Chains A and B, each alone.
Chain A
Amino acid sequence: MEREGQTILEDINFSVQEGDFVGIIGPNGGGKTTLLKVILGLVKPSRGDVLVFGKEPEEGRHLVGYVPQERIFDRDFPLRVIDVVLMGRLRGKGMFRPYSREDMQKALEALELVEMSHLKDRQIGSLSGGELQRVLIARALVSEPKLLLLDEPTANVDLPVETEFFELLEGLRKGITIILVTHDIGVLSTYVEKIACLNRKMYYHGTKEIRPEDLEAVYGCPVDLIAHGVPHRVFREHRP
C-alpha cells in the first residue's frame, strides 16, 4: 500500500474470523485509518488483495458498518441526532425517495440500543464526545452490518465513558465482527479478544497478548508495559 510515493502499509497479511473482536494498536501515522479505508474500499491497495466476506471491498461494503473518527465532523452542521442516524439507512434507497416509516423505526431502535433515544432531536453539535460516538455507532448499526469498523472511538472521552463504551460494544456484539483501531494501548481492555500491532507493518498472532518485542518494533522504542490490574490486563501476568 503506497501513497504519494511513501509506503504507508506494507506486507499486511492478516485475516479476521467472523465474530472476532480485534483491536489494532499503533502510533499516529502508522496507517491505522488507511487500513480501515482499504477494508472499506475507499482506498485501493497498490499491490495485493483485500477480501471482505470473500468479496471485493466495494461489493462487500454493504456488510460493513463504519464509525469514523469523531474529529472529522463539522460540529456546526445543522443536523439533528435522528437525521444523522437515518443516514445509515441510505443503502439501497433510491434517490427521489424520502426515508420511510420503517427507516425511522429502525433508526429509533438503533438509538435505543446505544441508549441515546432521549437525545434524538438534539443538535449534533450540542452532544458530548461520548454521546456523539454512540450516535455514530447507532448510525453504523442501523444498516445491520456484519462487520463493524471503529476508528479511534474513545479518543475524546474520559475513562468512565470509555468503560461504559466497551460494555455497550460487548452488548452489541452478537454475531457482529468488530475491528477497532486506536493509538492508545490503554483502550484495549478485557473486551478485546485479539490484538494486532500496526506501524506500516503488522504484527498479529491471533491472540490477545502483545509481545513486548512487537510493541518495540511498532513504536520504534521500548515501551513500558503497564497492566492496570486484572480487569484491564492485556498482558500475561509476569512472574519472575
Chain B
Amino acid sequence: MSLLQYEFLRNALLAGFLVSVACAIVGTLIVVRRMVFLAGGIAHVAFGGVGIGVFLGIDPIRSALVFTVLSALGMGLALERLEISEDSAIGILWAIGMAIGALFVGLTPGYVPDLMGYLFGNILMVPTGELAVMALLDLGLFAVTLSFWKELVAVSFDPEFAWVVGVRTKLINTVFLLMIATSCVMLIRAVGIVLVLALITIPAVSSRHFTKSLGWMMFISGLFGLGFVMVGLYLSFLFDIPSGATIVLVAGLAFLLLEGFKKS
C-alpha cells in the first residue's frame, strides 16, 4: 500500500473510519425513527455556523458545532411549544440556517475562503488535530448510546408507552438531537453539508438487508460506511475527482445494487 505513505491519505482513511462509526450509531437510529429529514435540516443549519465562523475569523467547524447544537436544542423547544408540524419546522430551520450562513459570508470583508469545501466536503483536507476531536466525539456518541440504550430504543419504537412507563422522553429526545447535531458537523469535513444525508442514511438502510437487530444494524452499517468511504476515496484519487461526491455516489450505487439484488 504505497498510497499510505502520504500523510493526508492516512488522515483521510482515519477520518473515514471515525465518520463511519458516528454514521453507524446515529444514522441507524435516525433511519429506524424515520427522522432523516430532521437530520437534513440540522446538517444544513450548520452552514449558518460556518458563515459565522468565516465572519469572525475562527475555525468554521468549531462555530458550526456550537451553532448547530444550539439550533437543534431550539428546534426541540419549538416543536414542544409551538403548534407546528415537525416537517414544517424542519423546512423553516433548514432555510433560515442557510440564510444566516449566506448573510455572514456576504458581510465578511476581503478574502472569503472557498465554501465549496464545507458544502461538498473534502476528506483529504482533514487536519491531524481534528482527528482527535472526531475520535472524542465518537467515544462520546458510543458512551451515550450504551448508557441510554433501552431508553433510546423505547422512545424510538413507542414514545407514548415509554412516557407512560416513566421514561424521561423529553430528556432522551434532547440527547438524541444533540447526537444528530454533533455527528452532522463531524461529517461536514468529509462529505460536506449537502451530502451528509447520504452517509447517514445509505449505510443504515443497506444494513437492514442483513439483520433484524438494531445493534447488528449499527455494526453492519459501520462496515458499509467504511467501505463506501474507502472505495470512494480510492476512486477519487485514481481519477482525480472530488472525494465527497465520489463517496456519496459509491454509496448510492451500492444501495441501488443491493436493492436490485434483493428484488431479483
Contacts and interface: CB of A to CB of B under 8 A. Distances in A.
Interface of A: 4, 40, 42, 61-62, 64, 66, 68, 72-74, 76-80, 83-84, 86-88, 90-93, 95-96, 98-99, 123, 125, 139, 143
Contact of A98 (B150, B157, B165): B150
B213 A78 contact: yes
A75 to B, nearest CB: 11
Contacts of A76: 32, 208
Contacts of B164: 40, 42, 61, 64, 66
B163 interface: yes
B165 A87 contact: yes
Contacts of A93: 150
B65 to A, nearest CB: 25
Contact of A62 (B160, B161, B166, B211): B166
Contact of B149 (A79, A98, A143): A98
A79 B166 contact: no
B230 interface: no
B161 A77 contact: no
A87 B154 CA distance: 6
Given A79-B153, A84-B157, A42 B147 contact: no
Contacts of A73: 157-158
Contacts of B149: 98
Given A78-B32, A95-B148, A123-B212, A90 B154 contact: yes
Given A79-B153, A123-B212, A91 B166 contact: yes
A86 B153 CA distance: 11
Interface string B48-69: 0000000000000000000000
B157 A79 contact: yes
Nearest 10 A-B pairs (CB), nearest first?
A91-B166, A91-B165, A90-B165, A96-B147, A123-B212, A87-B154, A66-B164, A78-B214, A78-B212, A77-B157
Contacts of A92: 166
Contacts of B154: 87, 90
**Residue among B148, B161, B166 with most chain A CB within 10 A:** B161
Given A78-B32, A79-B157, A139-B161, A86 B150 contact: yes
A90 B214 CA distance: 18
B222 to A, nearest CB: 15
B165 A78 contact: no
Interface string B113-154: 000000000000000000000000000000000011111011
Contacts of B217: 78
B208 A78 contact: yes
Given A84-B157, A90-B154, A98-B149, A77 B166 contact: no
Interface residues of B, number: 27
Contacts of A78: 32, 208, 211-214, 217
A87 B157 contact: yes
Contacts of A99: 150
Contacts of A40: 164
A74 B31 CA distance: 12
B162 interface: yes
29 contacts: A4-B83, A66-B160, A66-B164, A73-B158, A74-B157, A76-B32, A76-B208, A77-B32, A78-B32, A78-B214, A78-B217, A79-B153, A79-B157, A79-B214, A80-B212, A86-B150, A87-B153, A87-B161, A90-B151, A90-B154, A90-B162, A90-B166, A91-B166, A93-B150, A95-B151, A96-B148, A99-B150, A123-B212, A139-B161
A68 B163 CA distance: 13
B183 interface: no
B156 interface: yes
A157 B212 CA distance: 25
Given A78-B32, A78-B214, A68 B161 contact: yes
A114 to B, nearest CB: 16
**Residue among B154, B163, B165 with most chain A CB within 10 A:** B165
B10 interface: no
Contacts of B170: none
Contacts of A96: 147-148
A63 B81 CA distance: 29
A90 B153 CA distance: 11
